[in-house]
Amino acid sequence: MNGPSIDPIAVADRIHGLEERLADLSGGRTRLLPVTKAFGPEAVEAVLAAGHSAVGENYAQEILAKDDALAGRDVAWHVIGSVQRNKVRRLAGRVAVWQTVDRPALVSEIARRAPGDRIMVQVDPLGFPGTGGCPPGAVEDLVGQALDAGLRVDGLMTVGAQGDAAATGRAFRVVADLADALGLVECSMGMTEDLEQAVASGSTLVRVGRALFGDRPLRGGR
């Protein structure tokens, strides 16, 4: 789990610089979620030291290991990678927001293991294989199911099309419109590569790793 080394002062500078940029671009609508995947607990420490408590992570194993390493620190973990149903039980009680809920079985399992938890529904408007997310037409039913099961639905989440700005723009607009139509507040969209586009489309939460911590070692993916 020990990734490349972290300079907490440089990270704090980048966090604060990006927050200023987001405030300028969005008029205060868009917040920053630092993503620490592939980096060790010291990356999370740097985020905490910069005054943030919410952190995004993709992998159950990394959340459990870092949460243990930081025992007693108040980290609000956002799950932003696809979750296998059999990981929910171990994660329950440690997660602040499950952002990648995209199917009925996952809604049921979270409602059972982590009653009342906060979720977002992940949408895949482009039908990309492998990134997770449900089709736009399935969102309303999933939101309804989650609310009926006693979960709190913060909003919608999506991942843009890497290297395809036009498709990404379309996807962001579909998701923002859907959130509006359903009266949902949060729109988690945008990463290092496409955050300006996400802000312009109405993102309320950008999930940013590389722009804060530098390139990830290959094993961390993307």
Ligand X SMILES: *Cc1c(COP(=O)(O)O)cnc(C)c1O
Q: Of the ranges 86-94, 113-121, 137-145, 191-199, which one interacts with ligand X (CB under 6 A)?
A: 191-199
Q: Is 164 in the site for ligand X (CB under 6 A)?
A: no
Candidates 1-9, 13-21, 47-55, 206-214; binding stretch for ligand X (CB under 6 A): 206-214
Instruction: List 208's β-bridge partners, or say none.
Output: 34
State the CB neighbour count (10 A cutoff) for residue 93.
10
Of the residues 26, 30, 36, 58, which one makes contact with ligand X according to CB under 6 A: 58
| Structural contact between residues 141 and 153, judged by C-beta atoms closer than 8 angstroms | no
When the beta carbons of 83 and 211 are compared against ligand X, the nearer one is: 211
| 35 scored as a contact of ligand X (CB under 6 A) | yes
User: What are φ and ψ of residue 73, in 5° steps?
Assistant: -85, 150
* Residue 162: CB minimum distance to ligand X, A: 9
Alpha carbon distance 152, 53 (integer Å): 20
Looking at residue 29, the DSSP 8-state letter turns out to be: -
Distance CA 85, CA 82 (A): 10
Residues that bind ligand X (CB under 6 A): 35, 37, 58, 80-81, 159, 191-193, 207-211, 222
